[in-house]
Amino acid sequence: MHAASLFVVIAACGPTTGTPSADSGAEGSSGSSGTPADGATGSDAAAAGACANATVLIQPGSADAPSGYEHCDDGFIHRVSALACDPAAVAPGDCDPNWGSAQCLADADCGPQGRCVDDPDPSTDCRCNTGCRDDSDCADGQACYCDGNRSTCIDAACLTDADCPATQYCGLAQIVSACGGFSRKLSCTGEADECRVDADCDNECVQCSRVSAQQPWTCNGATGICGPCG
């Protein structure tokens, strides 16, 4: 699970675990004010799989709208609550083609909620991003990942921590391709997991992810991060 460089961390919290609870659909006391997220303190912080020093993450492109995600001090990111995307984070899109194979040049070339964006993967050039406002815009088994003009539906075996077993989290895996693009998915952590962040893996060409909802999080060498681009 790569660290979310597009997220903005608004608050470093005290020594909390951020342990999921039945009411994890709420943002707790943190919200956009930057106050500490709810969680137990003391010896619980040392529990296996705990989210120590949880920080609230702001939606990319937004000044203060919470994303619903929390960042743990080991780099792990999990979804506490399902929040709608901030409309203020969306700006008119346009794109200068690099390879002459552009799918679009402006938002008008795309459908409803569509934005013309420059794909990080140079092999695909300018493309239409359909976008989403919240989870209801996505199909079953998907969640809306808010990212300004690049908001998109991602695969989701869980929507929030509340969908996972007690003491487990709805973790965000961010798989980076050799060309710099991202593939994101949400899935529950479990006791059989081999890893929960890329740093738990011994090879820089291996990324921590969950291949399917039936399998644990593992150091996955089939992500292509060290393969050829294009």
Closest to 193 (Cα-Cα) out of 176, 169, 210: 210
Alpha helices in 1-67 (DSSP H): none
Q: Kindly tell me the burial class for residue 226, based on how many C-beta atoms sit within 10 Å of its own C-beta (0-12, 13-18, 19 or more).
A: exposed
Work out the mean pLDDT of the chain and round it to a whole number.
75
CA 161 to chain centre: 13
- 71-80, 116-125, 147-156, 190-199 — which is least confidently predicted? 116-125
pLDDT, position 35: 35
Match 């470093």 to its residue by tokens: 12
Residues 6+ apart with CB under 8 A from 92: 107
Tell me: the pLDDT tens digits for 128-176? 887 899 999 999 999 999 988 788 899 999 999 999 999 999 999 987 7
pLDDT, position 121: 65
pLDDT, position 99: 67
Tell me: the pLDDT tens digits for 11-53? 433 333 443 332 333 223 223 333 345 443 323 333 456 899 9
Contact by Cβ (8 Å): 21, 40: no
pLDDT, position 119: 73
pLDDT, position 73: 92
Q: With a cut of 70, say whether residue 7 has pLDDT above it.
A: no
Q: With a cut of 70, say whether residue 87 has pLDDT above it.
A: yes
Q: With a cut of 80, say whether residue 98 has pLDDT above it.
A: no
Higher pLDDT among residues 89 and 49, named by residue: 89
Q: Kindly tell me the burial class for residue 161, based on how many C-beta atoms sit within 10 Å of its own C-beta (0-12, 13-18, 19 or more).
A: buried
Three-state SS at 200: helix
For the beta carbon of residue 35, count every other beta carbon within 10 angstroms: 15
179 — pLDDT class (breaks 50, 70, 90): low
Rounded Cα–Cα distance for residues 26 and 14 (Å): 19
pLDDT, position 56: 96
Rounded Cα–Cα distance for residues 137 and 213 (Å): 22
Q: With a cut of 80, say whether residue 104 has pLDDT above it.
A: yes
pLDDT, position 122: 64
